[in-house]
Amino acid sequence: MSILKVARIGTPVLREIADPVPERALGSPEFERLIDDMIETMHEYDGIGLAAPQVHASTRIVVIEVPISEENEEDAEAPLTVLVNPIVTPVGERRVLGWEGCLSLPEMRGQVIRWDQIHLDAQDRHGNAIDADYSGFFARVIQHECDHLDGVLYVDRMEGMRSLCFVPEFDRFVADDEDVPCA
């Protein structure tokens, strides 16, 4: 396995619509290597999610793993999850404001409104169907990562730039006043 270079904002691949993973690619050595490298890269950078375009691969793959932490202790831990060709559909009308960060915008945080509950259709790395509803923080992370597959970054979803801040300033001036976890 290898640690891959993470694309930062301004890199063209982050603004492209990623190609679907063809059925014939599932299980191939290249497909498996990319997923394993994405997982290792996500862990190396202390991320909780990573989309293939963030590692310069324009394909519809997402990896997510949300450990229990002080930031999201009310939400359930999300085990290592691989999503292939995910489709996210909002469920209900409730949207919530929350803080997000991104490995492609290092050391930044901003507030984004997301659907509180979503329905996810996808495949896992073995081609098994995923057909499930999610809510709360895990739903936010799924939406954030799947946005990358359509060339959308969290700053594009912000209603304004007033909440955009660097992590040290977030930690110093905002984190203690907010009970909203960062994605």
Q: Which residues are catalytic?
A: 145
The whole model's pTM is what? Answer: 0.91
Question: Predicted confidence band at 18 (pLDDT cuts at 50, 70, 90)?
Answer: very high
Residue 69 has pLDDT above 80, yes or no: no
Do the domain assignments include residue 3?
no
Do the domain assignments include residue 7?
no
Question: Predicted confidence band at 174 (pLDDT cuts at 50, 70, 90)?
Answer: confident
CATH number at 47 reads: 3.90.45.10
Do the domain assignments include residue 118?
yes
Average pLDDT over residues 117-137: 97
Domain coverage including residue 33 = 12-177
For residue 182, the model assigns a pLDDT of 39
Query: What span, in angstroms and rounded, lies between the C-alpha atoms of 80 and 38?
Result: 12
Q: What is the pLDDT of residues 133-165, one digit of tens each?
A: 999 999 999 999 999 999 999 999 999 999 999
Q: What is the pLDDT of residues 47-66, one digit of tens each?
A: 999 999 999 999 999 999 98
For residue 178, the model assigns a pLDDT of 53
Do the domain assignments include residue 2?
no
Do the domain assignments include residue 38?
yes
Residue 13 has pLDDT above 60, yes or no: yes
Structural domains in the chain (count) = 1
